[in-house]
Structure 1
Amino acid sequence: MLKKLLGISLFSTIAISSSIVLAAPSIPRPDKNGDYTYVREADRWRVVDSEGLNCRSRPGTRFVVLEVKRPGAVLRRTIGSPSIRNDGRGLPWLLVEARDGSPCFVRANRRFIEPIVERVERSQSSSRPSQSTEGFLRNKLSGRCLDIAGRPGDAGPARLGGNAGSNAQIWDCSYDNPQQDDHVWVLNSRGYLIEKNSGHCLDVVGAPGTHNGANIALGLCEFSGYAGGARTDQRWELLRGGYLRNMVSGRCIDVAGSPGVNNGTNVQLTRCELSGESGGGRSDQRWEFVSR
C-alpha cells in the first residue's frame, strides 16, 4: 500500500497555543560565600570563569583533572545520585557529565558556574491543546518501526520505581494491520510519546533513567510531569534531522549496535549523534512519522 509522510515531521517543532504561559522554576541561590549547596531545580549550568574550569575525578583540588570545561560551556548535572558533594575542607562540588558521559566534579561556587534558567510550560485551564502527531515511528536508517515486544506488547507497563515493562525494539512496520499492532504512536503537545494500542507512554527505565545505555520500555504515563519526586523521563523534544532527545537526560532514542538495523534490536538511551554519524557509519538515531 502507498505510504506517504505526514505533513508534520520531526524536522519541525510542535506548535504551542498562544494561551500557554511560561513560568521560571525556583533558581538555586548561592550562600554568603558564593557556594551552591542546593541545586535540584537546575539541570544545566554554565561555566562563568574566564579561564575555564577543571573537572576532577573526585571533589577536591588534589584529584585528577579529567577535562577542562571551556568558558561558557554548558554543564549537565548528573541526576540520580547526590549532585553536591563536599571535599575534605567542607566545600561543595557539583557532579556533572564529562564529554564521554562519565561523571566528574566542578567547584560549586558562583565565581565558576551559574544555573541556566529554563522556562517551564504551564497551560492555563482555558487553553486548547495543540495538535498532536500520529503515525508509525520509522527509523530512517533501517526502515523499521519503533515496536513494543509482544503480540501486541501492551502488557506489563513499567511501574513507578523503575521496574521494566514491555521492551521497546525495532521491527518490520506492519502498515497493513494498524488496528492490531503496537507500531502506532501519538506524540502529544507536551512531548509524551503514547503507544496508541495500550495508551501507555515510552519510558526510560529508572527513577529517572538518565545514563548511557538505559533501557527504553512501555510505562504508565506520568502526565503530572513528575515520578517519585523527580522530573519524569517520559518527555521528548524534536531536533532537526529527526532526533528524539529526552528532556531530562539530554540523550537520544538510539538503536543498539553500530548501527542497529535488524528486527528485534533493542532501543535504548544514548548520547546524541547529532553529526549524523556513529563509528564512521550513518547514525541510527533519526526517526520519521509515516501515516497509516
Structure 2
Amino acid sequence: MKKLYRIHQYILIASLAFVPTIALAQYGTPKANQNGDFTTSVPANIFRNYWIVVDSDPRGLNCRWSPQLPRREWDADNVVWPTLNIEQWPVVRRFPKNTRLTVYHGHGGGTMLNDTRGLPWVTVDLGDDRACLVRANQRFIKPD
C-alpha cells in the first residue's frame, strides 16, 4: 500500500510540473495580426510576461501614462479614467532597442488595453508598483 501511495504521489507531482507548460502551449507564442498588432484573449495569469523592444527609433520606444491616473495602483479607488487616446498621453519613459520589458499584471491582473482607435497596448512594469503603456505591435515589440 505504501508503494502504491508513493507512485500516486510521483504521478501527481509530475503532472503538476507540466500544468504551466500545457497552459502556455494552448495559447502559444503571441502572433501578430495582419496589421502587426498583438491582441489576446489569454487569461492574465498566463499572458506572455516578457517582450523585447525591436523599435529602431534612436530615441527609444515611447511608454506613455496619463497624468490623470495615479502612479500607484492602490491610489486608484476614486479615479475617473481619462479618454483612452493613449497615443496622445505624455511619454514617461523611453526604452532602447533590445530592452527586455516585463508586463505589469497589477492587483487586477490586466495586461493589455485598447485605445480609442481599438489598437492594443501592453502595460509595462516600471517597478515600485508603477506602470506605463507601449504599443503592442510587431514594429515596436516582440514576444520573448
Instruction: Check if 1:88 corresponds to 2:116.
Output: yes
Q: Aligned runs of 1:1-292 on 2, under 5 Å?
A: 25=25, 26-38=28-40, 40-51=46-57, 52-58=60-66, 60-79=86-105, 80-98=108-126, 100-116=128-144
Amino acid aligned to 1:45: W
Letter in 1 for 2:112: I
Query: 1:98, CA displacement in angstroms?
Result: 2.0
TM-score (norm 1): 0.30
1:75 CA drift (Å) = 0.5
What SS does the aligned partner of 2:88 have?
A: coil
Calculate the aligned-residue CA RMSD, in Å.
Answer: 2.3
Aligned mates of 1:30, 1:82 — CA distance in 2: 19
Q: Which amino acid aligns with 1:68?
A: R
Offset, 1:110: 0.4
1:47, 1:113 within 8 Å by CA — same for their partners in 2? yes
Structure with higher RCO (Cα < 8 A, 6+ apart):
2
Once the two structures are TM-superposed, the CA of residue 100 in structure 1 deviates from its matched residue by 5.0
Normalised to the residue count of structure 2, the TM-score between the two structures is: 0.59
Q: 2: distance between equivalents of 1:45 and 1:101?
A: 19
The structure richer in strand per residue is 1
Q: CA deviation at 1:41?
A: 3.4
Contact 1:27 1:41 (8 Å CA) reproduced: no
Cα drift, residue 64 of structure 1 = 1.1
Deviation string for 1:152-189 (max 9, x for gaps)? xxxxxxxxxxxxxxxxxxxxxxxxxxxxxxxxxxxxxx
Post-superposition offset of 1:34 = 0.7
Q: How many residue pairs were aligned? A: 96
Deviations 1:2-46 (A, max 9, x none): xxxxxxxxxxxxxxxxxxxxx784111111111011164310000
The 2-side partners of 1:47 and 1:99 are apart by: 18
C-alpha separation between the residues in 1 aligned to 2:134 and 2:90?
A: 12
- The verdict on how the C-alpha distance between 1:99 and 1:50 changes in structure 2, with shifts beyond 3 A counting, is farther
Letter paired with 1:31 = N
Gaps of 5+ in 1: 1-22, 117-292
Identity of matched residues, %: 39
Cα deviation for residue 61 of structure 1 reads: 1.5
Aligned to 1:281: none
* Equivalent residue letter for 2:88: R
**Structure 1: distance between partners of 2:127 and 2:100:** 11
Q: Deviation digits for residues 182-218 of structure 1, max 9, x if unmatched?
A: xxxxxxxxxxxxxxxxxxxxxxxxxxxxxxxxxxxxx
Three-state SS of the structure 2 residue aligned to 1:33 is coil
SS at match of 1:61: helix
Name the CA shift for 1:73/1:112 in 2 (closer, same or farther; >3 Å): same
C-alpha deviation, 1:97, in angstroms: 1.1
**Counterpart-to-counterpart distance in 1, 2:109 and 2:47:** 14
The verdict on how the C-alpha distance between 1:100 and 1:54 changes in structure 2, with shifts beyond 3 A counting, is farther
